[in-house]
Amino acid sequence: MLAGILIAVVALLHLYFMYLEMIAWDRPLGRRVFGTSPEFAAASKALAANQGLYNGFLVAGLVWGLVLGEGGFAIKVFFLACVIVAGVFGAATVSRRILYVQALPAVLALICLYAGL
């Protein structure tokens, strides 16, 4: 139960990231969240949209695992692991904050999933 809730939270976070990167990137909200200038946001809009698409795939995988219930255990593990790797990489290359916003919730969900919580 707890694992399912945490996985849903991770999926919702990534749905929000997808929105920010694909739709709001060059708007005031996106620029404020990512700390970008209008010029940088305009120049990197396609790159951000590509990133957002990948976040959408993570959402799809996590939701797929949730829909399958217990039968989706391996799918949940795989997509949570993808989120964790992306979060660690983002923390190492972009901002340490990504470790806490992206990777930590996925780590907690994965722990709960393995613990059967």
Return per-residue pLDDT of the chain as tens, 117 residues.
Answer: 999 999 999 999 999 999 999 999 999 999 999 999 999 999 999 999 999 999 999 999 999 999 999 999 999 999 999 999 999 999 999 999 999 999 999 999 999 999 999
Q: Which residue has the tokens 């972009």?
A: 94
Q: Is the pTM of this model over 0.75?
A: yes
Structure tokens at 16: 């929000």
The residue among 22, 20, 29, 8 whose CA lies nearest residue 79 is 8
The residue among 62, 34, 28 whose CA lies nearest residue 47 is 34
Q: How many helices (DSSP H) and strands (DSSP E) are in the chain?
A: 7, 0
